[in-house]
Amino acid sequence: MRNARKVMKKDLDKVFKFPSAIFSTLILPGLILFLIYALMGSTTSSLISGDEDYFSKIHIINAPQSFEVYTTDEIGDELKIDYSFGEGTDNTVDLEKLENGDYDLVIIFENNFDEGLSNNTKPLLSVYNEHTSMSSLGAMDKISGLINQYKESLLQEKGIDPIIISDAYASVTDINKSNAFGLATILPMIIVIFVFAGSMSIGADAIAGEKERGTLASLLMAPIKRNDLILGKVFSTSIISLLSSISSFLGVLAALPFMKSMFGLQGGVTYGVGSYLQLLVVIVLLAAFASSLVLVCSTIAKSVKEATNYALPVYFVAMLVAILTMFATWKTDLYLFAIPIYNIAIGLKGILSFELMTSQLIVVVVSNIIYICGLVFLLVRLFKSEKILYSK
Amino acid sequence: MKINQTKDPLKVAVDDISFSTFAGEIFGLLGANGAGKTTTLRCIATLIKQDEGQISVMGVDNSDDLAVKQKIGFLTNEINLENQFTPNYLFRYFARFHDLDDETIEQRRDDLFTRFDINSFAETKIGDLSTGMKQKVSIAVSLVHDPDIIIFDEPTNGLDVITARVVTDYLQEMRNRGKTVIISTHIMSLVEKICDRVGIIIDGKIEMCDTVSNILNNNPGMDMEEIFFNIYSRKVVEL
C-alpha cells in the first residue's frame, strides 16, 4: 500500500507540478462549461424576453381574496398576463390543459387559503409550469415576482409573524421540487460526461502512454508489486477525473444565474447534508468506475492513440446514456439501479430530484463497487500478461 | 530455461539455455537481432516468467520478483524516463521504492551524478536532454540501490562515441568492484573489448559459452566476428 501511495504521488505530481497541466485538467473544463452555459442561458433569456407582446395565460384556482389585488386588469395589462380563474379540488383537467399548452401556468391555492393563513394551518400554494415551454418559463418569471410581493404584503398588512409565514410557505414545495427537477435534468448528464472525459484524458495516457514512451519498463523494474502499481494508477486517475468533474461542477454552479430562465429555476434549491454526501459518494464511484474502465483500455492498447480509440466508444455510450437519462421519466425498478453507467446517471438524477430511495442508493453503491473490483481484477490479470505489457 | 515469447505463437523464443555468471566478471550474450538475448535478460530480471526451467539470482529463485529486483539493476534502451520530470526528481522517486533513507539517497545521488556528470543538468527536464544525457540518467536511476548484478541490454546502442565510452568504462569499473555484469550485444568488438566470458546465442539456443580468451585461442587467426559467423553459418546449414 505504501508503494501504491508512491506511484499515486508521482502521477499526481504530473498534474500539480505543472501549471499547464493544472490549467488544462482542472481549470479549462469548468471554464469551458461556464462559457457554454452562460452563452446558452443568455441566449435563452433573450429568447424569452424577446416576445414582449405575448400575454401569458395564467390560470388561478381558488384565488383567495388576499391575492385579488394581483389579478386585476391593470396588473394583467402591465405584466402582459391573461388571467383565468377556476375553483375546486380536482385539478386534473387544468393540469392537462397546462401540459397541452392551453395554459402557460397554473396556480392552485388550497381551499380557504385566507382562513388557513389566519389560523396558521400552513395552507398550500402550488405553482405548476411546463419546463419545456418558453412561454411557460416566461409566465413563471412574471408570477414569481408577484408571489414575492404577495408574501411581503401579507407580512406588512396582516402582521403575521415572519417565522410563521415562512413555515406556511415552506409547505409550498412545488417550486423547490421544480427547481430540483431542472437541476436533476441537466447535472447528471454534465457530471457523467465530464467525469468520463477527465478519465479519458488521464487514463488513456496512464499506461498506454508509459508503454509508448518506454517509461513503464522502468516502473516494472522497481521492486513494487503489480497490484500496488495498478492501485496507484487507479487512485491517481480517479482523483484527477474527480477533481476535473468538480471543476466542471463549479463551472455549472457559476453559470446558474445565467441558466435560471433556461431551466425555469426560480430562487434556489435547498439540499440537505445527506444529499450532498450521497452526491459525493456517487460521483466518487463514477470517477473510480470510469477510471478503471479507461485504464483497462489503456492497458490493452499499445499507444495513447489506440487507447483513446478503445475508450471512445465507452465514452460515447456514457454520453448517450447520460443524455437519455435527461429525458427519462423516473422509474423505480430496482434492477435499473444495477446497470453500469445508467445507474450512476439515474442515481444522480434521483438524488437531485429528491426521489432516490435508500434501497436504490444501496444498489447503485454496491453494484458499482462490484464493477470497480471486477475491473481492477481484470487489470491485475492483464498486467500479468507479457504480451500485453511489452506489446509495441 | 524455455520461453515462448514471440509474435508467432508456435515459435519458441529461447530454448534450453543454461549458463552461470560470477561476481567480478562481465558476461556477454552475443547474438543477432531476434536471437533471444533480450528475452533471456528479461527473464533473469523477472520481467517475464519463463515457461520451463529455473533461474536463480544469488540463490533467490526468480519467482520471488521483489527480492530479485533488489539485487539487480536492469538497463535497456527500451527504458525511458518521463520527459516532464528532472533527473533529481526521478532519482529520488525510484530510490524510495528501495526503501532507502533520505541520507543514503542523497549520498547515492551525489556519487552517481558526479560519476556520470549529471549535476549540471540535474534540474533540467528529461525532455530537454540529449540522448546521451538521458542514457546517463537512466543508468544512474537503475543503479540507485547499488545492485550486486547489473544487466545491460545493448549497452551502447544509439549512443554517441563519448557516452558509449563512459558506459563501457563504468561497466568495467563495476566488474573491478566485484559486481556481476551481464550484457547483451550484437557488437562483436564490444565483447572482445570488455567481456570476460561470452555466450553465443543463435535462434534461441546457446551454441558456445566460454571465456573470451579461450574462444579466441581455440580459433587462431580469427576475431570474434569471424568466429560468430562460422557458428552462425554452420547453424543455418543444419536448420
The DSSP-derived string for A304-352 is HHHHHHHHHHHHHHHHHHHHHHHHPPP---GGGGGSTTHHHHHHHHHHH
- pLDDT of B10 reads 56
> What pLDDT, in 10s, does the model give residues A262-310?
555 555 666 778 888 888 889 889 989 999 999 999 998 888 888 888 8
Nearest CB neighbour to B78, from listed A14, A217, A222:
A217
| Region for B50 from its dihedrals, namely left if φ exceeds 0, alpha if ψ lies in -120 to 50, beta otherwise | beta
Q: What are B197-214's pLDDT values in tens digits?
A: 999 998 888 888 899 999
| Cβ-contact A241, A287 below 8 angstroms | yes
- Select from A6, A10, A215 the Cβ nearest to the Cβ of B80: A215
pLDDT at A327: 66
Interval A208-244: pLDDT, tens:
888 888 788 778 888 888 888 888 888 888 888 888 7
Grid-cell match 558476461, residue found: B27
Asked if B134 and B67 touch (Cβ cutoff 8 Å), the reply is no
A15-24, A28-37, A52-61, A352-361: least confidently modelled range: A28-37
Q: Which three cell numbers stand for residue A26?
A: 482542472
Q: Which chain A residues are within 8 Å of B94, Cβ to Cβ?
A: 218, 222
* B158 dihedral zone (left: phi>0; alpha: psi -120 to 50; beta): left
B123 touches chain A (CB under 8 A): no
Give pTM, 2 decimals: 0.65
Contact status of A18 with chain B (Cβ, < 8 Å):
yes
- Contact between B112 and B144 under an 8 Å Cβ cutoff? The reply is yes
Instruction: Decide if B32 touches A, using CB distance below 8 A.
Output: no
Burial of A60 (0-12, 13-18, 19+ CB in 10 A): buried
Taking 60 as the threshold, does the pLDDT of residue A44 lie above it? no
Flag if A221 and B79 touch (Cβ within 8 Å): yes
Does B71 reach chain A within 8 Å, measured CB to CB?
no
User: Cα–Cα distance between A219 and A7 in angstroms, integer?
Assistant: 9
Q: Is B62 on the interface with A (CB under 8 A)?
A: no
Alpha helices in chain A (DSSP H): 2-16, 19-22, 28-50, 73-79, 92-100, 113-119, 134-158, 162-170, 174-204, 210-213, 216-221, 226-263, 273-300, 304-327, 342-352, 358-383, 386-389
Q: How far apart are CA A11 and CA A6, in angstroms?
A: 9
Is residue A169 over pLDDT 50? no
Give the dihedral sign, CA A187/A188/A189/A194.
positive
Predicted local confidence at residue A263, as pLDDT: 56
CB spacing of A225 vs B94 below 8 angstroms:
no
Is the pLDDT confidence value at B238 over 50?
yes
Of the candidates A351, A66, A308, A350, the residue with the CA atom closest to the CA atom of residue A196: A308
Q: B213, B45 in Cβ contact below 8 A?
A: no
Give, as one character, the DSSP assignment of residue B52: B
Cβ of B79 within 8 Å of Cβ of A6? The answer is no
Mutation to test the A interface, candidates B43, B48, B78, most A Cβ within 10 Å: B78
For residue B148, count CB atoms less than 10 angstroms from its CB and return exposed for 0-12, middle for 13-18, buried for 19 or more: middle
CB A264 within 8 A of CB A140: yes
Q: Which residue has the cell 543455418?
A: B236
Backbone angles phi, psi at A342, to 5 degrees: -60, -40
Inspect the interface and report whether the beta carbons of B84 and A10 lie closer than 8 Å. no
CB contact under 8 A, A224 and B98: no
User: Which residue pairs, CB below 8 angstroms and at least 24 apart, start in A333-338?
Assistant: A334/A359, A334/A360, A334/A363, A337/A363, A337/A364, A337/A367, A338/A363, A338/A364, A338/A367
Task: Return phi, psi of residue B207, to 5°.
Answer: -90, -25
Cβ-based contacts of B81 with chain A (< 8 Å)? 215, 218
What's the distance, CA B159 to chain centroid? 15
Q: Is B3 on the interface with A (CB under 8 A)?
A: no
Chain B partners within 8 Å of A386 (Cβ): 5, 47-49
Average pLDDT in the A21-49 region?
A: 67
Cβ contact B66–A386 (<8 Å):
no
For residue B98, the chain A residues in CB contact (below 8 A) are: 222-223
N residues, chain B: 239
Does the complex come out with an ipTM higher than 0.85?
A: no
Contact B82 A213 (CB under 8 A): yes
